[in-house]
Structure 1
Amino acid sequence: MKKVFIILLFVAVSAFAANPDDLIGEKFIDVYGKDEKGKIVKLSDVAGKGKPVVVVYWAIGDVDTYKVLPEINKIGKKYKDKIILIAPLLSVSDDKEVKEAKKLLHFDFPVWLAGSDSIKAYSIEKVDVPYILFIDKDGTIRNIMVTARDLKKIEENIKNLIK
């Protein structure tokens, strides 16, 4: 009986766990963080305001993130007048560590220290980074890439946002 209960509990919890694919086509979920100056910022400060937004969740020390962020920075510069690119950091960090990471990784788009609401809202696991949201100019999530490593697909998604 105990095993049956545990199995039913697991099935029930799994049914309510958010799947990133379920968010595609939906309005973005407003989350908050702190910008590099310590100011509280919300995704609604930039998303849904007439310009596409690319949100790259990352973590300090993640090898895949370290390989991809500099390349995303290059792509972001290519489309800088057409998109807003932000990088919420999921690791517990401070300003000094953020500056060091940006310098080491050669990227210059804004970093936000993400709140736990981002992790809950978008069901982000530690192994999911880089986790990228592609939000159109109206605030609709057009795609989500989990453990994003394919730079061609990242750029394709950006091109689709600005069409």
Structure 2
Amino acid sequence: MDLTNRELRSLVLSFDPSFSRLENIVEGLNNGIEHLYGSELCIDWYGTMDEKHECETIYRLAVLAFETYIISSATDLCNEDESPEQFYDLLQDVILILALSDYVTSKTDRYKQVFEKYDLDVTNYPIYNGIKILNKNRDLIQISKILKSWRNQIVYIQYKVD
């Protein structure tokens, strides 16, 4: 028995193991940020710690986790004759995350064009400020939910119901 597009779409929307892994990673990173603020920055009596510098390290890990989710989602949902990159343009946040990831991993210098668009300066904590662009409260869970919504948009494109 073949499944209809409606049934396939419902199945793909409800089953996303990559998002479950992303949620676990983000939860751990949020715990790390809470610990940083609770244990380090709150007792910084002399003001010697730099919040942006300290958080940027954690946010680098988040960016890499977001990139993994983006690439795996796009790859899993595209047809054999399609390029996964076609889905990146559906959401500007995806483009920004991929540029931040490119900066972190130093794969290419393609991030420069996106950094210019968002006025991100490589000498002024671009990862911290990029996360702040994605969510003004730097809430990694909310950024994850945006990516989940982006994936759902791809599902609706790929599994059209007549």
Same fold by TM-score, threshold 0.5 exceeded?
no
Higher Cα Rg, which structure: 2
Q: In proportion to residue count, which structure has more helix?
A: 2
State the TM-score, normalized to the length of structure 1: 0.31
